[in-house]
Amino acid sequence: MNERVVQAGRHRIFLTETGAGPAVLLLHGGGPGASGMPTYSANIDALAKQFRVIVPDLPGYGRSSKTIDQSDPFGSLAEAVRGVLDALSLESASLVGNSYGGSAALRLALDTPSRVDRLVLMGPGGIGTAKSLPTRGLRRLLGYYPEPSREKLATFIREYLVFDGSSVSDAMLDERYRASLDPEVIANPPLRRPSSLKTLRRMDFTLDRRLRTLDVPTLVLWGVKDRVNRPSGGTTLARTMPNCDLMLFGNTGHWVQWECADRFNSMVAEFIGSAA
């Protein structure tokens, strides 16, 4: 695997690359201590058999720069991912995004659809969020800072992020907790409550008229036991987007790519590979 830092517009982005073939970017979620490689540890090797797999740390996370435009968070993330494509001289790529990363992928596709070959979205945020109260899981997530603790992180991950909390090891929790203590992140959390109604509405994709005409082939994967982002968001996307398929996973929470890794790897490889 090749690790490096690229300048993606105003963001410095750390990324890892492996494999060969059509380019696929794996975009992680926004939970405390998240980063690219651990999020997709069960998927990278399988997908790299067919694709050039690129795994960045999104702005605010891991070893990337920590600044995000809080007046338009999804737009800021999309800008960074588009900057990664530019830095790697890629005209386009397929984007696979979980939660916050799914929001970044969808926003990039809406802003510049020619840069996206195919979309795979796992429990993305921003689907009807301006019209309903946040879930208990999302409230837990948004309340992690400014006083982080391992107990708060363990409760969020084991009780809200996955269906079977016993599947999450103490070692994984320890790694995430250490990463969540970055002083820059504590001082400036990348994922926080919207600062204004305008920002909240900007972060709700169902209020964006472009969603109805976005014809990028899209596969939405959602765990029916997701306690962070409501599974009904998957039906909303499938009904709204003209070229969107939906698959629901039983006894699965917010981490489809981790909780159902084998099925996920097979479905994503087939979906993205069919474009070749």
Euclidean distance between CA atoms 38 and 179, whole angstroms: 12
Taking the C-alpha atoms of residue 133 and residue 152, their distance in angstroms, rounded to an integer, is 21
* CA dihedral over 87, 14, 106, 44, signed as positive or negative: positive
- Token readout for 140 is 């837990």
Among 218, 215, 203, 200, which residue's Cα sits nearest to residue 268? 218
Other CB atoms within a 10 A radius of the CB of residue 84 amount to: 23
- Active site members: 254
Parallel, antiparallel, or unpaired for β 93-98 and 218-223?
unpaired
Cα 170 off chain centre by: 23
What count of other Cβ atoms lies within 10 Å of the Cβ of residue 275? 10
